[in-house]
Amino acid sequence: MTTNGDAERPNVARIFDYYLGGAHNFAVDREFAERSTKIFAVDEAARAARSFLRRAVRLCAAAGIRQFLDLGSGIPTAGNVHEVAERIDPTSRVVYVDNEPATVAHGRTMLRYSRTAAIVHADVRDPDAVLNAPETARLLDLDEPVAVLMVSILPYLSDHDRPVDVVAKYREAMAPGSHLVISHLTADLEPDLMDKLAALAELTGVTLTPRSESAVAELFTGFDLVEPGLVPASRWRDDAETTGPASALAYGGVGVRHR
């Protein structure tokens, strides 16, 4: 899950920032991003993941959720969680979490004037560090429902990291009525494309672990999936007919913590 913060090497968070139209990236990131899109539409996949995130946040907000924990957030660039949530209710609070120092530094610069959003420097595999961070304690009340967002982050956890157990630790801290949002890369639908994406990630020093539909479904243990259940993320509550590689690279779903 580690990404590098060296301005001389492409950085996953900054590459995605570029794909999403952000300004927190360097020439080395832009060059890598442009080369990548010649292999396949990685930029489209990044935008599809961000679109799923926005739709899921709107669903959570419509259900009354006013606090959000975005795990493995990357740089909170265009269309970020607090912008979407605050359009619905300006009092919404958001805590972003990332383990990469340069990403956190960018995030803190962007959020320095915000009273309702902050970023935590922690590893999502250490729920105690995330949940006990000063920013989390200041902004989130875990006795009330919270939306925990795990969008595109769990493929960075190897099977050795036991992602099911990691998710379970967060579940234990979530009040009844809380929402869990997950999108996860898969090789089920387009294995050749997934292989290309994994190879690109390796060039930035990152190893991705795609998972099957049944493995992703297991992550929702203890949650009731809302309609339409676990489906390709780009088609989750999307009225548009989505086609292309982005529609086949990830599953997405939202679950509600059992009462």
The pLDDT tens digits of the residues spanning 25-54 come to 788 888 887 877 777 777 777 788 888 999
What is the structure's pLDDT at 5? 47
Question: Phi, psi (5° rounding) for residue 120?
Answer: -105, 135
Among the four given CATH numbers 3.40.640.10, 3.40.50.720, 3.40.50.150, 3.30.56.10, the one describing domain 49-257? 3.40.50.150
What tokens appear for 125 in the block?
A: 């595999």
Cis amide prior to 228 (ω within 30 degrees)? yes
Half-sphere exposure of 77 (CA within 13 A, CB side): 21
Longest dimension (CA), the chain: 49
At residue 259, the 3 state secondary structure works out as coil
What is the structure's pLDDT at 1? 38
Cα-trace Rg, the chain: 17
Query: Which regions in the chain score pLDDT beneath 70?
Result: 1-7, 20, 78, 239-247, 259
Domain boundaries, the chain: 49-257
DSSP E strand stretches across 87-178: 93-98, 117-121, 147-151
Give pTM, 2 decimals.
Answer: 0.89
Residues in the chain: 259
What is the structure's pLDDT at 120? 97
What is the structure's pLDDT at 218? 98
What is the structure's pLDDT at 206? 86
Residue 27 burial (10 A CB sphere; 0-12, 13-18, 19+): exposed
Are 141 and 65 in contact by the 8 Å Cβ rule? The answer is no
What is the structure's pLDDT at 75? 79
